[in-house]
A and B are shown apart, each in its own frame.
Chain A
Amino acid sequence: MAQPKQKDDRGDMLQGTLAMLVLRTLLLAPAHGHTIAYAIERTSEDILQVEHGSLYPALHRLEERGLIASFWGTSENNRKAKYYRITPAGRRHLARERSRWDQMVNAIARVLGPATE
């Protein structure tokens, strides 16, 4: 159904990666955008710097595709916030993407061979 959107993230590695990271983060617990952004940064030990502004359209896209769902809740500092949680479809998608990612990383590692230094 959401054809025009799939066009956006197909083949775009970073987009896909971001989606994967978001899904992985939501696997633990529902969260709102701010939490997700920081969670990704923190768990990657600040190596992956997500541009927070681009996170929100990505969240929308994932919601469109039914991989995550949203609900309104109250945040830890008492503000109205939109929370996201992963859907069963999202879990499946994550598992699929994850194995693809692993394959790719392995493949790239094999091509590059052991570190020459």
Chain B
Amino acid sequence: MSWLRYFRRTRRKEDFAVEIETYLQHEMDENIAHGMNPRDAAFAARRKFGNITRAKETAHRMNTIGFLETIGQDLRYAARLFRLEPGFFTVAILCLALGIGANTAIFHLLDAVRLRALPVTSAQELAEIQIAPGQKCCTGNFSSRRSNFTYALWDELRSRQQAFSSLFAWSEHRFNTAAGGEVRSVEGIYVSGDFFRTLGVNPALGRVFSIADDRPGCGAPGVVLGHSFWQREYGGQTSALGRKILLDGKPFEIVGVAQAGFFGVEVGRSFDVAVPVCAEPIVNGENSHTPKRHHWWLAVIGRLKPGWTLAQARAHVRAISPGLFAATLPPNFTPDTAKDYLGLKLTADPAASGVSDLREDYQGPLLILLGIAALVLAIACANLASLMLARASARERELAVRLAIGASRPRLMRQMLAESLLLAAIGAACGALFAQFLSGYLVRFLTTTDNPLYLDLGTDWRIFGFTAALAVLTCLLFGLMPALRATGANPGTLMKAGGRGLTGARERFGMRRILVVAQVALSLVLLVGALLFVRSLHKLLTLDAGFQESGVLVTEVNFSTLKYPPERWPEVQSEILRRVRLLPGVEQAAAAYVVPISGDLWNDRFQFVGGKPAGHFISNFSGVSPGYFRTLGTPLLAGRDFDERDATLKSPKVAIVNESFLKQFLNGASPMGTRIRIEAGPGEPEPVYEIVGVTKDAKYRRLSDPFSPTVFTAMAQDERPAPGAEIFTRSQVGLASQLAAIKREMAAVSPAMALNFYTLHSEIADSLLRQRLMATLSGFFGFLAALLASIGLYGVMAYIVAKRRSEIGIRMALGADRTNVLQLIGSECGKLLAAGLLLGIVLSLAASQAVAKLLYGLSPSDPLTIGLSALLLALVALPASLIPAIRASRLDPMNALREE
């Protein structure tokens, strides 16, 4: 009711005025009737009524809500002040927008990766079932991001478990939709029949899969499209239903489209197509995972039965584990591995916010970035607080007058806080816009063709709350202290003192000095962080990886859809290589199974034949063609490269090892003639290789990994060849024509050959994404922080000079020359800077430990980095503070003194 009245207050005010007017008229009428003249009658009426203003005010107070009324006034007043000082306003808003925006953007990503619940029905009932960590798990073939289950194990679990009302398995797989030639990949998932029902996801069109679709031996029962893929590829047309789509060469009929906004259960990824798990054998053919009990490729999520808690479910799956593993023991396991396998236990973990491998990758960096962004915001706040203090002291007299004529201190504080609040609100609004842009940019930054990152960046209440909380917090941070100080002074002393002092009273800008020291210190911390990241990225980029990546084109050839028998695969591989080598312009060409730095890994256990040295060893492996080392620019240190002698399965198997292999296993002794035997499961071949060459070390999986022992074998001698290879070419002609020529040549072999191209250089650049992200963002923030701190320092110095104008004037009148004045102000500034830097170094040493894990080849307390950062900051900050000093030295003493 009172709120209603508030909004009607203008109307009521008018009514009230009319009422009073009526009274006066009546009274006048009566007075005139009693014989007064109109003038006296009017006066008498007013006298009779009493204090009109007071009556109006009383009525006004009844109708208004005091707080609302004054905050409106305060905000209008603040807006007026800001219009008068556009410079201050712009700087303040810019600081806040950058600070708040950066925080919001990074929080947004964290929220999307970490906190948000899956957009499905009752996500909190979902639990992921996997092998409990800390066990000796598992041997075999792992082919997906979450390879937690074999098909057999999943099948057993599904039929034996009691804890879940429904559960599903899924696995991701990148499908090629092209009939031949260059690959067009789509992100796919294999899903078991209950996937959509368990999650409560409905079709937007057609139908989604049910249990009936997922029967063993189902062939190619159809495909459900992701909503955005449907929009993108089929323009959202209903006619897409019933059409066929080629997935790895097999036609699948489109049976439906999943509901909008559903991206699957893996945060950071999205699916374009979903096919039933039972279709895997027809897609992968010979290499199908489904029948193989040592192929781990599925992940499982279930929905808890009503009344079941997660703890009960966990206990349940643990209890049924022995039976499950006993029933699914892979036949080819050795007794050792079988024993480990039989002892495995399952567990269940909450999966309300989905599962993600991004979390492990990006949570740490994002938290650090959030910390960095928070520091930037703190520096910005310190800057603003300093500015507000300066404004407050400029308005000292105004405030003193207002206090003296009866304004209450809370009222004045409210007014000053209203200014801060207005700034914070506008800053937060601009910051939110900036954040939208920045978080979008970050997602694009982290997206590579090979690793598309999909994040739902819709704004939710959490983001809104975070931004609002930041706005209030910053407002309090930079507004409260100046408001308290400005209104805390005794008006009497203030009015007396106004402008009279010769030297500014020290304590009045003591607070600003502290703020500047804090700013310098914090920005040094950020600069040190930035430099650490930049330098470690630089180290990674310039390290000797053991190969020359520039100019190397990688062509991924896959002929699995062609009907070559497996025994002909090596032959096809060498035919492809032979043809590529003959292409005009191609200087060198080679093939391999593993592309360096791509993240691919092939390692095996082996032993030395003859038991010298004795024991089991593990090394990285790769199968390569002759010419591989020359093509990649890795020097051969001893022995020979592969050649025609090693071109058939029947020739004696040979291997080339790297330096690390020698150092680690053979104490650097010459390995020529040494033979190693690969250990495999029973029933699998255990090939023996004779070492015939040694190469220089080269990085294998990641640039940041140390060199590790690697054994190269000849592709042509591989007992288990693959229907494809990675072809490396170095050519004189440009990339585009090289690519086109290879495409033409491969089409000549067969139009159904699937090809995928990328350069080794971009592969390596992509592998450094996280480091690049950290270097770019921390560099940006560090620069921003240094800039803010410089502005802060400049502000304080300018203020000090202004306050000490008359003092400087007197000094100069008494004979001080420019150098003296420069020294005076310069030393002041130097002291502030030095104190800030010193504090900053201490803080950096403490804070940089948090980033140790993300650095390469640098200690977090690297003295060079810290020294450089301090120097850099001093270089940026000194000119900013020298300007006021120089200005002071040019002061005309007569002018300065006359102003007094």
A joins B in a complex: yes
Enumerate B465-514 residues with CB–CB distance to A below 8 Å: none
Does B50 lie within 8 Å of A53, measured CB to CB? yes
A46 in the interface, Cβ–Cβ < 8 Å?
A: no
CA distance A52 to B51 in the complex (A): 9
Does A81 lie within 8 Å of B22, measured CB to CB? yes
CA distance A81 to B26 in the complex (A): 10
Enumerate A32-82 residues with CB–CB distance to B below 8 Å: 32-34, 37, 51-54, 56-57, 60-61, 64, 75, 77, 79-82
Does A57 lie within 8 Å of B2, measured CB to CB? no
| A60 in complex: contacting residue of B26, B49, B51, B62, CB < 8 Å | B62
A115 in the interface, Cβ–Cβ < 8 Å?
A: no
Residues of B within 8 A of A (CB-CB), count: 24
| A52 in complex: contacting residue of B16, B18, B49, B62, CB < 8 Å | B49
B542 in the interface, Cβ–Cβ < 8 Å?
A: no
Q: Given A52-B49, A52-B50, A57 and B59 touching (CB < 8 A)?
A: yes
Does B22 lie within 8 Å of A56, measured CB to CB? no
Q: Given A34-B27, A57-B62, A60-B59, A79 and B22 touching (CB < 8 A)?
A: yes
CA distance A33 to B49 in the complex (A): 11
Does A53 lie within 8 Å of B52, measured CB to CB? yes
Residues of A within 8 A of B (CB-CB), count: 24
Give, as a whole number of angstroms, the nearest-CB distance from B57 to chain A: 9
Enumerate B7-27 residues with CB–CB distance to A below 8 Å: 15-16, 18-20, 22-23, 25-27
Does A33 lie within 8 Å of B23, measured CB to CB? yes
Does A1 lie within 8 Å of B1, measured CB to CB? yes
CA distance A1 to B55 in the complex (A): 23
A113 in the interface, Cβ–Cβ < 8 Å?
A: no
Q: Whose C-beta in chain A lies nearest to the C-beta of B1?
A: A1
B29 in the interface, Cβ–Cβ < 8 Å?
A: yes
Question: Given the complex, which residues of B lie within 8 Å of A32, measured CB to CB?
Answer: 19, 22
Q: Whose C-beta in chain B lies nearest to the C-beta of A81?
A: B22
Does A82 lie within 8 Å of B15, measured CB to CB? yes
Does B55 lie within 8 Å of A33, measured CB to CB? no
CA distance A2 to B1 in the complex (A): 7
Does B51 lie within 8 Å of A53, measured CB to CB? yes
Per-residue 0/1 for B21-51: is the Cβ within 8 Å of any A Cβ (1 yes, 0 no)? Answer: 0110111010000000000000000001111
Question: Given the complex, which residues of A lie within 8 Å of B19, measured CB to CB?
Answer: 32-33, 56, 81-82
CA distance A81 to B50 in the complex (A): 19
Q: Given A64-B62, A79-B26, A56 and B2 touching (CB < 8 A)?
A: no
Does B22 lie within 8 Å of A75, measured CB to CB? yes
Per-residue 0/1 for B50-85: is the Cβ within 8 Å of any A Cβ (1 yes, 0 no)? Answer: 111011001100100000000000000000000000
CA distance A10 to B23 in the complex (A): 28
Question: Given the complex, which residues of B lie within 8 Å of A79, measured CB to CB?
Answer: 22, 25-26
| A82 in complex: contacting residue of B22, B27, B51, B62, CB < 8 Å | B22
Q: Given A52-B50, A77-B29, A33 and B58 touching (CB < 8 A)?
A: no
Question: Given the complex, which residues of A lie within 8 Å of B51, measured CB to CB?
Answer: 53
- Most chain B beta carbons < 10 A, residue from A34, A54, A64, A79: A34
CA distance A79 to B50 in the complex (A): 21
Query: Chain B binding site: helix, strand, loop or mixed by DSSP?
Result: helix
Does A57 lie within 8 Å of B55, measured CB to CB? yes
Give, as a whole number of angstroms, the nearest-CB distance from A83 to chain B: 10
| B55 in complex: contacting residue of A5, A54, A80, CB < 8 Å | A54
A114 in the interface, Cβ–Cβ < 8 Å?
A: no
CA distance A53 to B51 in the complex (A): 6
Does A56 lie within 8 Å of B54, measured CB to CB? no
CA distance A41 to B2 in the complex (A): 32
CA distance A1 to B29 in the complex (A): 39
Question: Given the complex, which residues of B lie within 8 Å of A75, measured CB to CB?
Answer: 22, 26
Give, as a whole number of angstroms, the nearest-CB distance from A97 to chain B: 21
CA distance A54 to B2 in the complex (A): 21
Question: Given the complex, which residues of B lie within 8 Å of A60, measured CB to CB?
Answer: 16, 59, 62
Q: Whose C-beta in chain A lies nearest to the C-beta of B57?
A: A57
Question: Given the complex, which residues of A lie within 8 Å of B25, measured CB to CB?
Answer: 79
Question: Given the complex, which residues of B lie within 8 Å of A77, measured CB to CB?
Answer: 26, 29
CA distance A1 to B3 in the complex (A): 10
Q: Whose C-beta in chain B lies nearest to the C-beta of A77?
A: B29
Q: Given A57-B62, A60-B59, A80 and B18 touching (CB < 8 A)?
A: yes
Per-residue 0/1 for A1-18: is the Cβ within 8 Å of any B Cβ (1 yes, 0 no)? Answer: 111110000000000000
CA distance A72 to B736 in the complex (A): 88
Does B2 lie within 8 Å of A34, measured CB to CB? no
Does B54 lie within 8 Å of A53, measured CB to CB? yes
Question: Given the complex, which residues of A lie within 8 Å of B62, measured CB to CB?
Answer: 5, 57, 60-61, 64
Question: Given the complex, which residues of B lie within 8 Å of A4, measured CB to CB?
Answer: 2
CA distance A81 to B5 in the complex (A): 21
Question: Given the complex, which residues of B lie within 8 Å of A52, measured CB to CB?
Answer: 23, 48-50
Does B16 lie within 8 Å of A56, measured CB to CB? yes
Question: Given the complex, which residues of A lie within 8 Å of B16, measured CB to CB?
Answer: 56, 60
- Most chain B beta carbons < 10 A, residue from A1, A33, A53: A53
Q: Given A2-B1, A51-B50, A80 and B22 touching (CB < 8 A)?
A: yes
Give, as a whole number of angstroms, the nearest-CB distance from B829 to chain A: 54
- Most chain B beta carbons < 10 A, residue from A2, A4, A56, A77: A56
Does A56 lie within 8 Å of B20, measured CB to CB? yes
CA distance A101 to B1 in the complex (A): 30
Q: Whose C-beta in chain A lies nearest to the C-beta of B54?
A: A53
Question: Given the complex, which residues of A lie within 8 Å of B50, measured CB to CB?
Answer: 51-54
Does A56 lie within 8 Å of B59, measured CB to CB? yes
Does A33 lie within 8 Å of B2, measured CB to CB? no
- Most chain A beta carbons < 10 A, residue from B15, B18, B26: B26
Give, as a whole number of angstroms, the nearest-CB distance from A40 to chain B: 14
CA distance A25 to B50 in the complex (A): 21
Question: Given the complex, which residues of B lie within 8 Å of A81, measured CB to CB?
Answer: 19, 22, 26
Does A34 lie within 8 Å of B55, measured CB to CB? no
CA distance A4 to B49 in the complex (A): 26
Question: Given the complex, which residues of B lie within 8 Å of A57, measured CB to CB?
Answer: 55, 58-59, 62
CA distance A33 to B29 in the complex (A): 15
Question: Given the complex, which residues of A lie within 8 Å of B18, measured CB to CB?
Answer: 80, 82
New A-B contacts (9) at CB < 8 Å, excluding given A61-B62, A64-B5, A80-B22 = A4-B2, A5-B62, A54-B50, A56-B20, A56-B23, A56-B59, A60-B16, A79-B22, A81-B26
Q: Please list the 10 inter-chain residue pairs (A to B) with the smallest Cβ-Cβ separation, ordered nearest first.
A: A53-B50, A1-B1, A57-B58, A34-B26, A53-B55, A81-B22, A51-B50, A53-B49, A52-B49, A34-B23
Q: List 21 A-B contacts (CB under 8 A).
A: A1-B1, A2-B2, A4-B2, A32-B19, A33-B19, A33-B22, A34-B26, A53-B50, A54-B50, A54-B55, A56-B16, A56-B19, A56-B20, A56-B23, A56-B59, A57-B58, A57-B59, A60-B16, A61-B62, A79-B22, A79-B25
List the interface of chain B (C-beta within 8 A of A): 1-2, 5, 15-16, 18-20, 22-23, 25-27, 29, 48-52, 54-55, 58-59, 62
List the interface of chain A (C-beta within 8 A of B): 1-5, 32-34, 37, 51-54, 56-57, 60-61, 64, 75, 77, 79-82
